[in-house]
Structure 1
Amino acid sequence: MALESLRYRRGSLEVLNQRLLPGQLRYERVGDVQRAWAAIRDMEVRGAPAIALLGCLSLAVELAGGAGPTEDLGALEEFVGQKLGFLLSARPTAANLGREAERLRGWVRRRVETPGVTPKLLRESIIEYIEGLLDKDRRDNRSIGAHGADAILGGLPGGGPVTLLTHCNTGALATAGYGTALAVVVGADRVAANGDVANKIGTFQLAVAARHLGIPFYVAAPSGTCDPTLASGDLIPIEERPGTELTQLGGVLLADPEADVWNPAFDVTPHELITGGIITEWGVFAPPEACRAVAERGQQ
């Protein structure tokens, strides 16, 4: 049975602290948005889909516990918006949380404008909406795996065994518990409109090597990772981690304390190097077509 990155039931949320793996297997309680923010920022949870789910579910936990205004629709809407805005400040590169926050804000606005909706009904419906994201994530993960397997196996002459190299957090711990990149090469945290991809540091070098050796290079990402508002990868915000992550290990200094450290968490792979395509829950797309397809689907 695959490990679960998150454990949720109405009013209760736990996150597997991935910073302790493989030495310890410990789930920690996430009782509010503040704790989720810290888990996201400190990389206790990793993988863009899991980050988005943890943030949204932590808001559901707060609402289930009675946090926020109880008598005014507008005040409750503002409360939700403020919580989502705070969560977005934790990790700037991963696109999924921003996309889900935008969708949730729009959905809440429409619910507020629905005749007969009370603050109590709005609160309950927001919780149910967020809980629905869990099931959607699992469905999308399976679709991505199936599309990826079809694309890769379909390119094999006469069948035969397949050797795959994965990079980034591509399995169950990156998502709600299944994984997005089980049959592909790399994951992604953000896809620009032209198909450039931001992923964990080292992806670009792998793409260059694959291109040189004639090995198909795929990216697997749910549609929420696409960001059609950014024309190219040059505009993707790249998170920089503390230099101590490279100069210290377990609190022990490994380098000169005055050493100048640059520690980007991501690099950008140009779309030209993504020779296999971008695999989403809707199918496999040429890199420049992925975000366009997502935008078109969003308008339907």
Structure 2
Amino acid sequence: MLWNETCFQLLNQTKLPGKLEYISCSDYKVVADAIKRLEVRGAPAIGAAAAFALVLGARQIQDKQGDFLSNLLIIAQELRETRPTAVNLFWAIDRMLSVASRYKTGDNISHIIDDLEKEAIAIANEDKDVNRRMSEHGATLFNTPCAVLTHCNAGALATVAFGTALGVIREAWSQKKITRVYADETRPLLQGARLTAWELKQEDIPVTLITDNMAGWVMKQGMVQAVIVGADRIALNGDVANKIGTYSVAVLAKEHGIPFYVAAPISTFDFNIKSGEDIPIEERDADEVTSLAGVRIAPEGVDVFNPAFDVTPNELVSAIITEYGVLRAPYFDQIVNLKNRMKGE
């Protein structure tokens, strides 16, 4: 994503790997639609995009009749409704609104917008630093060279830069601790095939693409020694919501005695929910399942269940990698300590 003070540009991830296409956004609704359509996706990237969308929206209502702050809250609510599971979206919006709340009705609107822009830029810049720190902590989990499996896409495309799970992989690869990456294709929208494989190929990191239902056999054959994925929301007890199919991979990893790691920034933790039972799971359009690359592959009228995410119970998670270090069970205690640490900063 690129910000040039007047226009926000997003790389259209639905066009990859075939085409590099940027979406120019001068209207917050364009960003909101891009989030809904997965043109921008990945929890940290969605959060940063929503922050810049609020800046665009603030400019759009600058001369609108009525109370500026009330109108800004309406825009914020529209953005909240784009995707319900990725908590970074709500975290970024709340952070932006906290800046706006410092002002009162009648204050200079230009000053509010300037401060909103500064905050959005800070969110983006912090994400870059967070990913680097997380990657360094995650690389310490790999002591001997090994192959790893990942699901969906948790790379630079899913963040502002570098990535969460793929960031750890990049760092560990640079330290010669990872020899190969097995990437699940990740049905129904193939983020692993289209995005993860593309990112790794760009950096000449050895990658083997597999279908989702091959993961168990790959583990059985001893072809991977660890799994690392990203997250869209983490509860207080360490339950992890991530792209649908992650739970299956975690169960398989447990069966084969393979560590299952999650890499996520603090902005992905939801300190307000006790367990994964409280995480809202987005269900998407049936067309994503019944069609592939625009070609229908299922009978007309067939019933479809299409949750975008699932929840992996904390007992299946070997460690959670954050910018503050690596967390291990019991997760509730560690996450509460982390929450208290955040309050003190």
Q: TM-score, normalised by structure 2?
A: 0.77
Provide, for residues 62-107 of structure 1, a one-character-per-residue CA deviation record: whole Å limited to 9, x for no partner.
44xx4223599x9222222221111010110100010111222223
Q: Give 1:11's aligned amino acid.
A: T
Distance 1:289 1:104, change over 3 A: farther
SS class of match (1:15): strand
Match for residue 126 of structure 2 among 129, 136, 154 = 136
1:95 to 1:217, Cα distance in 2 relative to 1, 3 A? same
- Unaligned runs of 5+ residues in structure 2 are 170-227
Please name the residue that 1:3 is paired with. Answer: none
CA distance in 1, matches of 2:71, 2:323: 32
How far apart in 2 are the matches of 1:162 and 1:299? 38
| d(CA) in 1 for partners of 2:38, 2:86 | 12
Q: 1:290 to 1:14 in 2, by over 3 A?
A: farther
1:102-152: CA deviation from partner (whole Å, max 9, x where unpaired): 22222321x2169x96322122111111111111010001011011112x1
* Structure 2 counterpart of 1:68: 61
Distance 1:58 1:69 in 2: 14
Q: Distance in 1 between matches of 2:138 and 2:311?
A: 21
Q: 1:230·1:236 contact (CA, 8 Å) conserved in 2?
A: yes
| Runs of 5+ consecutive residues of structure 1 not aligned to the other structure | 1-5
Pair 1:81 & 2:73 matched: yes
User: Closer, same or farther in 2 for the Cα pair 1:71/1:40, shift >3 Å?
Assistant: closer
CA distance in 1, matches of 2:56, 2:97: 17
The equivalent position to 1:41 in structure 2, one of 33, 36, 42, is 36
Distance 1:8 1:123 in 2: 15
Structure 1 vs Structure 2 CA RMSD = 2.1
- Which position in structure 1 is the counterpart of 2:324? 282
Partner Cα distance (1:117, 1:295) in 2? 33
Residue 91 (structure 1) aligned with residue 86 (structure 2): no
Equivalent in the alignment of 1:121: 111
**Structure 1 ranges of 4+ moved more than 3 A:** 69-72
Residues 1:117 and 1:174: Cα distance change in structure 2 (over 3 Å): same
Give the direction of change, closer, same or farther, for the CA distance of 1:117–1:162 in structure 2 (3 Å limit). Answer: farther
Match of 1:27 in 2: 22
| Deviation per residue, 1:183-222 (Å, 9 max, x gap) | 2601000001111000001111111111122111111111
C-alpha distance 195-70 of structure 1, shift in aligned 2 (>3 A)? same
Offset at residue 290 of structure 1 (A): 5.1
Greater displacement, 212-221 / 135-144: 212-221
Matching residue's letter, 2:303: D
Instruction: Write the deviation string for residues 267-298 of structure 1: whole angstroms up to 9, x where unpaired.
Output: 100000001x1111111112324542442133
Secondary structure of the equivalent of 2:311? strand
Tell me the equivalent position of 2:251.
208
CA contact (8 A) 1:47 1:173 kept: yes
Q: For the residues of structure 1 that align with 2:85 and 2:244, how far apart are their CA atoms?
A: 12
Deviations 1:208-246 (CA, angstroms, capped at 9, x unpaired)? 111122111111111111112111111111011111111
Choose between structure 1 and 2 for higher RCO, CA contacts under 8 A separated by at least 6 residues: 1
* Matched positions, count: 283
**Distance in 2 between the 1:127 and 1:254 partners?**
45
Distance 1:268 1:29, change over 3 A: same
Cα distance in 2 between the residues matched to 1:290 and 1:173: 29
Partner residue of 2:7?
Answer: 12
Please tell me the residue identity of whatever aligns with 2:77: G
Q: Decide whether the 8 Å contact of 1:11 with 1:62 is kept in 2.
A: no
Question: For the Cα contact (< 8 Å) 1:18–1:44, is it kept in 2?
Answer: yes
